Amino acid sequence: MSESQTTHTSYYTYAWKQFRSHKPALVSLYVLAVLVVIAILAPVIANEKPLYVRYHGETFYPALSWKKQFVIEGENGKKEIIQPDIAEWKRMSFEKVIWAPIPYSPEKTDRLNSGYKSPQDEQLFMRADGNIVPMPSRFRHIMGTNSLGEDVLSGLIHGTRVSLSIGCISMSIAALLGILLGAAAGYFGDTRLRTTRGRFWSTIFGIAVGWFYGFQVRAFVLRDALSGREGNFLLAIGLSLIILVSCILAFSFLGKWLGKLPVLRTQVHIPVDNIVSRTIEILHAMPTFVLILTVAAIARPSLTNVMIIIGLTSWTGIARLVRAELLRIRGLEYIQAARSLGFGEWEIIFRHALPNAIAPALVSIAFGIASAILTESSLSFLGIGVPSDTVTWGSLVNDGRQQFNAWWLVVFPGIAIFMTVTMYNLIGEAMRDAFDPRQKK
Amino acid sequence: MSRYLLKRIFIFIPTLLVIILLAFIISVKAPGDPLDRMVTAQDGVTDQSSLSWNAQLEKDRWRTKLGLDLPVFYFSITNAATPDTLYRIYDKRLRETSKRLIQAYGNWEEISAYQTSIQELAKQVELTEEELKKYTDTATTLLYRDTVNETFFQVQALKYAYSDATIRSLLQRIRSLSGQHPVMHPIYLAIEQTQSNWTDVVENSQTIKRYIPTIHFYRNNQFHRWVFGDGNWLTAKGAVNTKGIIRGDFGYSYQTKLPVHQVIGDRMRWSLFFSLISVCLAYIISIPLGIRAAAKRNSVFDRTSSVILFVLYSMPTFWVATLLLMGFANPLTIQAFPASGVEPMTGIPEGTSWLQTIAIRIPYLILPTISYTYAQLAFLSRITRVSMLETLSQDYVRTAQAKGLSQFRVIYVHAFRNALLPLITVFSNIFPAAIGGSVILETIFGIPGMGQHIFQAIYSNDYPVIITVFTLTGVLTLVGYLIADILYAIADPRITFSKK
């Protein structure tokens, strides 16, 4: 017994071992972890506001605080108010101050160094006493500035956030859609999902009703929320979705009873595979980038919108792979065993079939993240979709395109995009090799 | 085979219809009224309220020409309060205001009475303006002229207002303005009327109607007209303005007011040129490269080429293009190539022979061609290598080697044909790619192709062009599939499409 346990390695343990032997991918994984840390800590790493300030005997942590203003009891009882967002921190004299490693925020302009200051150019600095001196090395713009004097390195660090979150969130949406739809299409095919005629039509009716009350009645609420704050729209659309889903559920439940009536008792097939395959075909026959451009241009510029649009258009690859796997798996004996043991269909899909079908989807997700990051940076390069005050890697390259001499605006962000995309591609490739049993040595 | 192809075409028709429908939905839901854009762009009038009578006529003419006076789709599902003739309010903003009012109060009769009274009010204000013109200008009349002017704008604002508070405060404001001069007294009556009508709307609101769904059917609608033309749907008899997409009539571009096919035809040339040339180049270079790498697996050549191709594959196109421009079209470094366009700014002088034309154009084409080609090249070589490796590991190849065939013969005669299949799949994608062009590359290099035009069309809400792009891409995707199927059958005789 104990011997069989030591020799037994699960599929994923084995795959992980294979993956580790692919050195570039392993390095990529580590670098990616570092990037994630940078993305999370971006406001601490690159910030205009100091991390720690001691001023008139009081202690503040401006970079870490959300306070709109600090009130300080100055000398001879005068009150001094500092508004952290607009204060010129570098021109104030503190008793003690600790700056962030890169003491600039991405969208904060440095007027003294505006107009494309290169990394080697002479940069200027205004001291607390108002004198303009050559830049002390602590405050240099290490990777130069753009036309407005925004720090490139700071933009790069904050751009990491944008790129990684776009990649992650949009591919989460795509993975959710792709795995669900692909699994349903592959497992049920065109004939396996059966229901009574009553329940079928009742559910269809429920969709129509849910759409009417969730989206038609609330059309203007949704539209007003869309032009308002981000959170409002998510709330509004969430409520609409809840209405839709509960209508569908209610009518489906009603259908259960309807399905007992004479004519409505007939069994009907739901052609799940056909529906999903046609949808995939439609998305494939559309110019995806033009679609994303069009929708991003119509919708209000926002990162969330870009994520959703990319997610909704890139699930097809995952769905195809999962579908193909499930087509194979559903014929296997253990699935038939599970069915004859009376497990529910969805339980079989999620507990027994999907875990064996997920590997190719994971590979596709890794490549998908790479291409989502590419799409987002192309969009922000064209100036579409991402709000103009958000600094991203793509928008930095676009800045550089306006001024050919400003090589630092093109080279550094470009390398960042290139590296990230390459790392995801490497990881994807190593995963593909690791999951492929034919590669077994 | 032909039966299979026919079946495939048949299956594709509904797909195509859905694509057209999706593009249509996007264009209908997009903000802004195309007519405003079309007509003001022509007359150079920017202010909506000061549209001249002529412009109004022009607008009406285009509205009927484009079919924008029709309901949108075959049916509309609305709440019970919405009348089925709402589409006859042509002003898109006013229509939306009415919808909002219906959604809030649910009593169309009262709302329409209220809106009629606003129209009456607006008319009265205009009359007052006329009346005021008879007065000689003195300091006081000038002042009143301003008052009337302001009243005019307040009434315009009232037209599009939909919240109770805004409407009430606007009415209050108009009332106090109108009290300032005897000339404006006739307005007073209209204001009274509007105010009482509004009170009616608020007091007699029928909330329950908002939650009862109704469906209205329209036989003649914008979508039908778009797809089938305005004549007979099958024979196009009696078509006046458009014959419909199914007969290749894509309507008029909002931006240029020219027929879409005319706009696109010009642009297509460049996109087609670049995608064809880059695909040909990519295939010519990548196939030998991939085969060589596969044949000498794990050699130095294989390893270096793999790394280089992997790097190329991951480089974002817009970055490479920008770097190329920075490096080779930059007066500060090397200015070997022009920075944008496909010909000199002054154009190609007349009377140049076509050989000279090519000579003039070549420097303009080199950098774009590189940018177009490199990513495809990398992609194709990697595919070729992988598929070749797979084929080479098969038994029949070993047999061929064992019976003493030369390596060249084994690879190019026996293995290559089987390794072709994945390359065919890629080949079928170039047709749809040609129509979309490359938005990014064409924008960067200033190539007057489809991609650049699409980008402009998106910015200027030129939806007929965008729908056309969607439709044509769909059709070309189908063509690509069909060609791929035929090529599969040629490359691999084992593939047949007839059922046994």
Query: How far is the alpha carbon of A209 from chain B, nearest alpha carbon, in Å?
Result: 8
A213/B211 Cβ within 8 A: yes
DSSP strands (E only) in B38-143: 75-79
Calculate how close chain A gets to B164, using CA atoms only, in Å.
16
State whether B318 and A377 contact (CB < 8 Å): yes
Which of A287, A405, A414 is the closest to B319 by Cβ? A414
Residues of B in contact with A25 (CB under 8 A): none
Q: What is the pLDDT of residue B62?
A: 83
Q: What is the DSSP string of B277-335?
A: HHHHHHHHHHHHHHHHHHHTTTSHHHHHHHHHHHHHHHS-HHHHHHHHHHHHB-TTS-B
Window 308-327 of B, Cβ < 8 Å to A? 310-311, 313-319, 322-323, 325-326
Indicate whether A30 pLDDT > 90.
yes
DSSP A193-242: -EEEHHHHHHHHHHHHHHHIIIIITTHHHHHHHHHS-HHHHHHHHHHHHH
Q: What does the DSSP assignment read for B413-429?
A: IIIHHHHTHHHHHHHTT
Q: Is pLDDT above 90 for B65? A: no
> What pLDDT is recorded for position A8?
61
pLDDT of residue A312: 92
Structure-token pair, residue B250:
């894509």
Q: Are B461 and B446 in contact (CB under 8 A)?
A: no
- Distance (Å, whole) CA B216 – CA A204: 19
Q: How far does B359 lie from chain A, in Å, by closest CA?
A: 27
Contact A397 B322 (CB under 8 A): yes
The answer to whether the Cβ–Cβ distance between B18 and A295 falls below 8 Å is: no
Location of each CATH 1.10.3720.10 domain in chain B:
260-491
| Secondary structure of residue B62 in the 3-state scheme | helix
Give me the pLDDT at residue A418, please.
Answer: 93
Of A286, A410, A425, the CB nearest to B314: A425
Mind listing the pLDDT tens digit for each residue in B1-15?
A: 778 888 888 888 888
Average pLDDT (A304-316) is: 90
The Cα-based distances of B205 to B114, B171, B208, B340 in angstroms read: 13, 20, 9, 61
More confident residue, B53 or A280: A280
Residue A200 has pLDDT above 80, yes or no: yes
Query: What is the predicted pLDDT for the residue at B186?
Result: 74
B326, B337, B469, B470: which to substitute to probe chain A, counting the most A Cβ within 10 Å?
A: B326
For chain B, say whether A401 makes contact (Cβ under 8 Å). Answer: yes
Average of pLDDT values for B96-113?
87
**Listed residue (B497, B500, B472) closest to B19, CA to CA:** B472
DSSP state of B348: P
Strand partners, A195: A268
pLDDT at position A157: 92
Ramachandran angles phi, psi of A97, nearest 5°? -150, 140
> For every residue of A23-39, which 3-state class applies, written as one string?
HHHHHHHHHHHHHHHHH
Residues B261, B263, B265, B267, CA torsion sign: negative
Window 437-456 of B: residues touching A by CB (8 A cutoff) are 439-440, 443-444, 454-455
| CB of B456 closer than 8 Å to CB of B255 | yes
pLDDT band at B121 (very low <50, low <70, confident <90, very high): confident
Distance (Å, whole) CA B270 – CA B453: 11
Q: How many CB atoms lie within 10 A of CB A248?
A: 21
Residue A174 reports pLDDT greater than 90: yes
Residue A268 is given by DSSP the state E
Q: What is the pLDDT of residues B377-415, one digit of tens each?
A: 888 898 888 888 888 888 888 898 888 888 888 888 888
DSSP code, position A190: T
Q: How many helices (H) and strands (E) does chain B have?
A: 21, 2
Burial of B220 (0-12, 13-18, 19+ CB in 10 A): exposed
Nearest CA in chain B to A407: B326
Q: What is the nearest CA distance from B123 to chain A, expressed in angstroms?
A: 30
Please count the residue pairs, one from chain A and one from chain B, whose beta carbons lie less than 8 angstroms apart: 125
- What is the mean pLDDT of the segment spanning B179-206? 81
Whether the pLDDT of residue A439 is over 60: the answer is no
For residue A2, is pLDDT > 90?
A: no
A289/B436 touch (CB, cutoff 8 Å), yes or no = yes
Q: Region B322-333: what's the mean pLDDT?
A: 83
**CATH number for the domain running over B260-491:** 1.10.3720.10
Residue A77 scores a pLDDT above 80: no
In this prediction the pTM is 0.85
A277-296 residues touching B, CB cutoff 8 A? 278, 281-282, 284-287, 289-291, 293-295
Model confidence pLDDT, tens digit, residues A259-271: 888 888 888 888 8
